[in-house]
Structure 1
């Protein structure tokens, strides 16, 4: 898991290697300074040798300058390496998400993916930087200081050794206990981000239903959960600093006490005692640095696991070894198709589907909510794969096609219409990056979108706000239809994509399709029978099965569900979700 994440260091390996080298250089210079200071006191001040003071003092200044330069270089390279790792992680995760099938995306919440791309990556970045700098600096500083201390006086240095072993053991248990709380915290971030995302994206609904207070309360609870978990974790970590300072001052007192006695009996010099006190601070401060690194690593462990889940998730839908890149025509065949969103599902969403749709036909699809209309059409462009059976497009199994080639020829206007920040032209060219202005305008004419675009002051250069919030639902639907038409597909799927359009405009769109793109196979999912009754044939879906398939007249004569809904709608109301039509 850690190895997979560290693969993303890539071009920043040199900076990652340089950082600990410079940190060791800084440590060596810091370790040398107390030794030189002892020489100044013992051989310079006490002996009255001013030349020795100047000479060794100059060496101290040089050592300090080299240490400062090494520390700055280590900081610079450490920041470059950690920021580079974070950049690569985000790019790899984002690119990996782009390869996911709908089934893969269903396993992660949108808020969870956002948290992993932001908060989790930031935690790993900080942990990596601290590991490169402190993880190398602290042990090296501790080891060098310990060796120098033992070379001066082994007896007094035993105080350090006992303190380090005692503190290390206590810190291990503190951090181990805190890690469990940190691992619980990050899923709570997902819940918090989900609350924010839902509230902001639906702020108009929140205000329309005067739900501000309820939403604020929901956000407060999500935020409070994170607060409580971190407080529990910090209640464990909080003992770290006072315990460390208690140990430092205890060591200083013991060194001063026993060191003073040794000076009196001439078994220790004043300079050596000063060096030992300096090394005491080096050793224990290094231990404190290590404890901070371990706390950060314990926090990032949960983040690394969550990032690894995204990077390790592989798409269930992929290209065959020798993919077909040309779709012959818009014919569609379903042969004994079954489909379930989860492999272990007891009951499939679609079952026993057998359909034969000719190229260029207009097919209406109707049925009650939950009858699996959307699931049916999602299989055609391999947004999901069938569980059993096969689907043929242009006479070939969809699994034989190159995914990009198939999806470019099977254009889908999804149930949830999405527009992106940019001009109308920018949004339209999602369907075809090379489309000319004239082609964009022609697609809008077919989708009856030109009617309202021409009324905008900037026309096709009108800026669309995030999510298309500055256009109406019907306008958004028509722009999405125009975007799909620009792909010039062999199959066009409209998943309830005219539900917000008035019946007159709906009729114009269908007439334009019939007259202008007769060779394109059109699948139209709708709740209104008026939207599909002039289709070549109509599929009636019920509980994941095809209940009827025929022309409007044939279904009126033979299909009870279709007839009941038709009568209820023509008599002034009702659709497939009303009583009688939902049977």
Structure 2
């Protein structure tokens, strides 16, 4: 999975990767050449007292060292460019894929997990790429070249490598095998910590209201402790592995000096050759150490790559049309015919056989008890979900065949939970129509009954809005969301219980102003409050996912028990008849 991901996203950087490989090759060859020059200085210069030879070879060593430094800097520079570019491209790819997801896929992964995959998981793959380009290119060359040159210095002494290298690889292999499941668990624990932290920050008011601070501290401490335990497990393995590797390296040095000293004493080897052999042994072991760093990172990066690839290979359940239809004109005629929707794996559909027609210039209301499927029906219109049976049409065209951009322009949705983005009042109102003028913004605010409180803000339209709109009240968020939809001037307005946080006077004033503003548009309102929808041209009553009544307020009060029960739970008989 990791290799496949890297192959796919490193293609644009083949030139830079080639430069890294070239610089690393030159730098590694220079590193391997230095011990041989050092041996020559000792055996042919120091021992024989040839100062000229020492100066000449020493000058060559300085030149090789300079070349080594330059190539090393260049390799790291280009390697960093490739790694950071890969991280940027992966984050962009994940973000782009998530933007295509329907609410079903977002709910399946969860926001905390998607954030972790976009940040922490990408960072792990990026770091592995950087380490690979700066270490793993040179490590195998240094290891193989070191062995060849060590054999060239003294073959009998090179027999130690047959013991040292396998022992080192065995230690590393055992550690890597045990680390992989720990790193997978670590990423899952990070997801859990992010999820709990996000819930606590978002729900801080509820926590305070119910005095559940201690409970939330314990919940976070539990997730934090689980992450700590897994991290400690991986840390213990690393803490055990590195001393073991260093122990093998130090024992190897002692063994080389011991047996090499006997070889020098017997005349089978020169002092310079022994020095060079020891240097090559260190280079071989250092290359294995480089591989150790890589092998420590590979299991975690592989797990992260799998999690990233899971997002990138997940297709949205809301499939764009193969040949999108873009009507020349749109009236906003909305119809649902035999529509049903079932969540994956669910035994029963959430809504079943819904038939509904909404005409331009009319207000169609949907009411029903909690869980009757009102919001689900509304979400099928802008294709937040796709109907599993039946069809949703606008102007006679199935929404699944409409161009998504066209569908977005003709629908103005005010969701059940209004959300405002970090910025200003103006930037939020212009979210669906960036070219809207200030006059149009003020007009939308006036219709949405939001002009008064915006005018009282010192910065007015430039007043700052915090993430989620947390610096304004719930009613103000709803009115700003309604104004945002009005600025867009769509053909179809969808209000999902969008007046619930308003007082009765503001609700009535807003609906009166809205009726004048939407005389040629189709308006669909989902509401729990009877006073919000009693004046609608048509009221659709839902119960357990089915339509159980359609008519005006007076007609339904006369012959629909479900509607009558809902109304009388909020109003008296006299108020309902008024």
CA distance in 1, matches of 2:237, 2:460: 61
Q: Is the 8 A contact 2:171 2:245 kept in 1?
A: no
Q: Report Cα offsets for 1:237-261 as digits up to 9, x if no partner.
A: 3332122122112222221122111
What is the correspondence of 1:418-567 to structure 2 with a 5 Å cutoff? 418-567=419-568
SS in 1 for 2:161: helix
What is the correspondence of 1:103-182 to structure 2 with a 5 Å cutoff? 103-182=104-183
What is the correspondence of 1:9-408 to structure 2 with a 5 Å cutoff? 9-326=10-327, 328-342=330-344, 344-408=345-409
Q: Is the 8 A contact 1:13 1:81 kept in 2?
A: no
Shift of 1:86: 0.5
Shift of 1:5: 4.2
CA distance in 2, matches of 1:571, 1:238: 74
The worse-fitting range, judged by mean Cα deviation, of 199-208 and 521-530 is 199-208
Q: Is the 8 A contact 2:171 2:244 kept in 1?
A: no
CA distance in 2, matches of 1:238, 1:312: 36
CA distance in 1, matches of 2:15, 2:208: 53
Q: Show structure 1 runs of 4+ deviating over 4 A.
A: none
Shift of 1:319: 2.8
SS in 2 for 1:330: coil
CA distance in 2, matches of 1:245, 1:198: 45
CA distance in 1, matches of 2:255, 2:148: 19
CA distance in 2, matches of 1:203, 1:69: 54
- Calculate the TM-score normalised by the size of structure 1: 0.95
Shift of 1:39: 0.5
SS in 1 for 2:137: helix
Shift of 1:508: 1.2
The worse-fitting range, judged by mean Cα deviation, of 165-174 and 142-151 is 165-174
Shift of 1:217: 1.9
Structure 2: gaps (5+ residues): none
SS in 1 for 2:159: helix
| Corresponding residue pairs, total | 573
Q: Is the 8 A contact 1:160 1:283 kept in 2?
A: no
SS in 1 for 2:569: helix
CA distance in 1, matches of 2:270, 2:39: 9
Q: Is the 8 A contact 1:156 1:259 kept in 2?
A: yes
SS in 2 for 1:239: helix
- RMSD in angstroms over aligned alpha carbons? 1.7
